[in-house]
Structure 1
């Protein structure tokens, strides 16, 4: 960026962003043919080619989706479908997926921000240089509600592919036979500047059907937050000089599932209890119970607890209901506000319930915790809260290394076998003897 830090909007109290930061030139990175968008099949043609993402990965899996750019949430992905090899049609997974809020309270109690709805997160979309999108394509985004003197067209959306290492490895019956494959992901990401921070919003769509959602904070620490005089800062200068004020990043995601094309999904919670062995038993026993979540829920992650969103209409080739399991990430839960006291919310769909805090939609209450009021779940919306308590360190300067927070959703019975199963093992669907 061609930005002089003296003239840049340095604090969160500023409402403007640098014209140069948003209009700095960058060229589209020309990627290989595999990374270019391709025409979608009719089942996934809910948007024009300019707003369509389609990628077939090396293992044979194809992901399809539409994208748009919201004036507060930033990047929104819609009509997301997954088609592994062996499936004749795309399997719809989500109506929409996007950020629900980035809430940033400071430890000294003097500052607190809702970056999406209160601090122009979307308008801070940054131009990406070709080297930031290796092997991929940088798309031009028309950013809504930019100040009239600024260019709303930002080369700010990267779509590319990336290896993630082993997808699986298994020693075969013969000593010289090893089944292994390297996994690949479709990556979709943007960079948004808010004050001194830059947020990388990353979506990873794996060839095995898993989706990883991450936000990475980078950029730099604001020098106007230095020298916290009440002990709530960490010195990053010589001796006790320049104490950077500690703060939290509480990131919310909002997922609207539509498994098999229907929004009438159900939610299930699973809890397991481990009991010490009694006489005659060699090991402890574990019992797992399922609870159907029929009404709105504010929930917390717990050892031996997990949730899944279940299709109301579709089953895999084994006759099992398709579902996606919610896999929480590492979190530091912030207890200072009612909406950050819980890890996960399931709310009944309401088109004005869009942001987990400081929601401008005119709903009954302005935060997600207020929307859990006993409604029956016929169209559940999933909200995940992942927190990070940032106590600065010397290594945070300069620039600040990126620190990530996020979670995943993993397919559970979406396909009858591992979607990457090699052909000569395809017979082993619950079988150990190919003659049976």
Structure 2
């Protein structure tokens, strides 16, 4: 049993949960958590300077956003815009992005935790040492636990830049002869915070690439819970000398909640793509691979399959080639846990509802007749006019000797890749700017 959840026992009263629901709307600076942003042209983030992040990367791309902190979700990023070279104004991408749950069930069936909503994940924000944010800025965050009027200042949000290696490489060999090497090293804006929940420390990071890609990851580190070294239950992996101690295996099922606002509108559409390979017919050189598009017009609980993917398409914006802007969901490695209804699917698309903020154990007060407290209960066939995207990525942690001590970071997450956001690679060198489409 986890007995050291940030110094608090697991039990919570109904009053505490009600206060937490109210606290979900309380903000440290960027505006209410539950109000659906109005559609508006992309512009500078609507928050004060203390809560604004703006970074122009060395390749010319600028990312802008607001941040705020909540007692449950922790860090929330809002009003996220992307302005690559050649674009005269920022392109709105997301109204908001946040963690929506970290669900931790143990293999022996003894324990199960909702780290955000039962243990106030955000309240466990940790101070960062100077060496943890190399070349960047550590911002002070005012943390207020909802059962108290007390606040504490935490140096808990790092914004910095990181090199990621090649953005591209191409050896050009023109028909006229000669050759030229085009290569560019990529740069990312990195935003992250660390939250302690019992023995675990979670690194929540967002990486914003200069080519418009966004990576959302959670890394678990800290310590294995020593009270779970119990060989008597017959479960777990031997830790230490012999088999006297075994660490219980468990899952970390991490959910993210994404409220898109492409080009300033919340009325994007969802599309699903599936490809099917058919064996080659007589006389045919290779098998065929046919891709079909399905417009997702109703709420959906979706599952990843081979050659299946989804994209969120702008309702209003197009790139310079006249193609609708969109962002594609790119899943990471996933060990899906099927023990609960809300963990059985990889992605959920739901119609926006201000009370639907957490994927499980949702504590907010919802209108009469609203179904359930988990995301699987909210998929009821409603028409998707303002879709919210929920992504579920699982990790089955079977402990090993190398997990002590401290435990190396194990990561889980996914990416959002721009698809037709710009007419060409936003980092294209000037001398290749006319190489768009068919080359005659």
Matches within 5 A, 1:253-402: 253-363=256-366, 364-402=371-409
Q: What residue is the counterpart of 2:208 in the other structure?
A: 205
Measure the CA separation in 2 of the matches of 1:16 and 1:297: 36
1:241: Cα distance to partner?
Answer: 2.0
C-alpha distance in structure 2 between counterparts of 1:273 and 1:223, whole Å: 48
1:56 aligns with 2:56: yes
Asked if 1:157 corresponds to 2:164, the answer is: no
CA RMSD of aligned residues (A): 1.8
**2:435 matches 1:432:** no
Give 3-state SS (helix, strand or coil) of 2:117's partner. helix
User: Could you tell me how far apart the structure 2 residues matched to 1:146 and 1:13 are?
Assistant: 15
User: Secondary structure in 2 aligned to 1:50?
Assistant: helix
Give me the whole-angstrom Cα distance separating, in 2, the residues matched to 1:423 and 1:78. Answer: 32
Cα distance in 1, alignment partners of residues 286 and 438 from structure 2: 28
Question: Deviation per CA, 1:275-294, whole angstroms, max 9, x where unpaired?
Answer: 00001210000111100000
Rounded to whole Å, the distance in 2 between the matches of 1:145 and 1:56 is 34
What is the alpha-carbon distance in structure 2 between the residues aligned to residue 13 and residue 133 of structure 1?
Answer: 23
Deviations, residues 334-354 of structure 1 (Å, cap 9, x unaligned): 011000000000000000000
* Alpha-carbon separation, structure 1, partners of 2:228 and 2:285: 58
- Structure 2: stretches of 5+ with no match in the other structure: 11-40
Shift in Å, 1:59? 1.0
Q: Work out the number of aligned pairs and report it.
A: 402
Task: Find the residue that maps to 1:143 and give its secondary structure.
Answer: strand
> Per-residue deviation at 1:45?
3.7
Equivalent position of 2:28 in the other structure: none
Pair 1:11 & 2:4 matched: yes
Counterpart-to-counterpart distance in 1, 2:6 and 2:428 = 54
What's the TM-score once normalised by structure 1's chain length? Answer: 0.90
2:150 and 2:260 map into 1 onto residues whose CA distance is 36
Looking at structure 1, the residues matched to 186 and 422 of structure 2 have their Cα atoms a distance apart, in angstroms, of 17
> What's the secondary structure of 1:93's corresponding residue?
strand
Does the Cα contact within 8 Å between 2:304 and 2:346 map onto a contact in 1? yes
Q: Is the 8 A contact 1:146 1:152 kept in 2?
A: no
Q: How far is 1:176 from its partner? A: 5.0
Aligned to 2:426: 419
Q: How far is the alpha carbon of 1:15 from its aligned partner?
A: 1.3
Q: Secondary structure at the match of 1:229?
A: helix
Q: Secondary structure at the match of 2:131?
A: helix
Q: Could you list the runs of 4 or more consecutive aligned residues of structure 1 that deviate by over 3 angstroms after TM superposition?
A: 9-14, 146-151
Alpha-carbon distance in structure 2 between the residues aligned to 1:81 and 1:213: 16
Going from structure 1 to structure 2, the CA distance change for 1:221 and 1:150 (only over 3 Å counts) comes to: farther
| Displacement after TM superposition at 1:215 (Å) | 0.1
Aligned counterparts, 1:124-135, within 5 A: 124-135=124-135
- Does the aligned pair in 1 maintain the 2:231–2:244 contact within 8 Å? no
Deviations 1:112-168 (A, max 9, x none): 000000012111000001100000000000012177697511000000000000000
